[in-house]
Amino acid sequence: MATVAGILACLCYGISTVLIIKSLKTDVPVNRPALLGTATVGLILHAYFLYGALLQANGIQLGVTTMASLFALVLAATGTAVAYFRHIESLLAPAYPTAIVGLLIALLFNDHLIPNPHLGRGVIAHILLSISAYCVLALALSQAILLWIQNYQLKHRHLHDVINLLPPIQTMESTLFDLISISMVLLTLAIGTGFIFVDDFFAQHLLHKTVFALGAWAVLWLLLFGRNLWGWRGMVAVKWTMTGFVLLTLGYFGSKVMLEVILNRV
């Protein structure tokens, strides 16, 4: 049943992609109810499939293919959620095909990692929230790069055809801050659940991860604060977004390097 749900989710994402591409080619506004409705059904089916893949009888599965499916779900869900409030259909054109690829990886390949039966629900929530926060911030980084390119080409009056397909720059900036806000909420919940449910959250092997995550949280908070108080936008927003992403990347993937290379620990 879960496999059928995954296949149907791919079909829904495919239909949504066709609707967007058809709209871009004909320069006719996309049928938003059909697009968002189909995508939402796909998200529900995808979530059902992922639930079965993650929570197995002998523990939680955190293998590569399952994480690819989780990334695909977060990507599609975030883009669809923002699209309910903003006209960003052109930005969804690469999102749904990417979600299809992530879902197909989970459908076609099995994880060889043995599920972990010893993780409590709070720790599982912390892990999933952390991964989701990182995925959304990665989307925000992609949006920031697109915004930088759009700003540069507008300033130099050299517009590429692909850039012409993007929403207006005001919508692009608003979408960037939407993504940052969503990432901020997820990261706050991830840090909060870590404090509550993870033993020795400030232990040596977790300290660098915690410090970098808190640093990323502070950068994102300052960016949102500066946006509301001083109207930060444009390149300022792009640079702060990049800084937050780098810090969170160091927190998630740099701890092992910090311990083994810099501190010479095994």
Q: Which residue has the higher pLDDT, 163 or 10?
A: 10
Is the pLDDT at 207 greater than 70? The verdict is yes
Q: Which of 73-77, 102-106, 249-253 has the lowest mean pLDDT?
A: 249-253
Is the pLDDT at 73 greater than 80? The verdict is yes
Mean pLDDT of 203-225: 86
Report helix angle 169-197 to 234-253, nearest 10: 30
Q: Which of 119-123, 189-193, 220-224 has the lowest mean pLDDT?
A: 119-123
Q: Cβ distance 205 to 130 under 8 Å?
A: no
Q: What is the Cα 149 distance to its own chain's centre? A: 21
Is the pLDDT at 204 greater than 60? The verdict is no
Please give the pLDDT value at position 254. Answer: 62
Is the pLDDT at 83 greater than 50? The verdict is yes
Is the pLDDT at 122 greater than 70? The verdict is yes
Q: Cβ distance 24 to 93 under 8 Å?
A: yes
Is the pLDDT at 205 greater than 80? The verdict is no
- Going by C-alpha positions, the residue among 20, 79, 12 that lies closest to residue 48 is 12
Q: Which residue has the higher pLDDT, 234 or 180?
A: 180
As a whole number, the mean pLDDT across the chain is 86
Please give the pLDDT value at position 182. Answer: 95
Name every residue whose Cβ is closer than 8 Å to that of residue 196 and which is 6 or more positions away in sequence: 122
Please give the pLDDT value at position 36. Answer: 96
CA gap 264, 266 in Å, rounded: 7
Give the confidence band of 202 by pLDDT, cuts at 50, 70, 90: low
| Predicted structure pTM score | 0.84
Is the pLDDT at 166 greater than 90? The verdict is no
The one-letter amino acid at 25:
K
Is the pLDDT at 159 greater than 70? The verdict is no
How many percent of the chain have pLDDT more than 70?
A: 88
Residue with tokens 């160091």: 250
Mean pLDDT of 134-145: 90
CA gap 86, 69 in Å, rounded: 25
- Show me where the domains of the chain are located: 1-117, 119-266
Please give the pLDDT value at position 224. Answer: 94
Q: Which residue has the higher pLDDT, 10 or 128?
A: 10
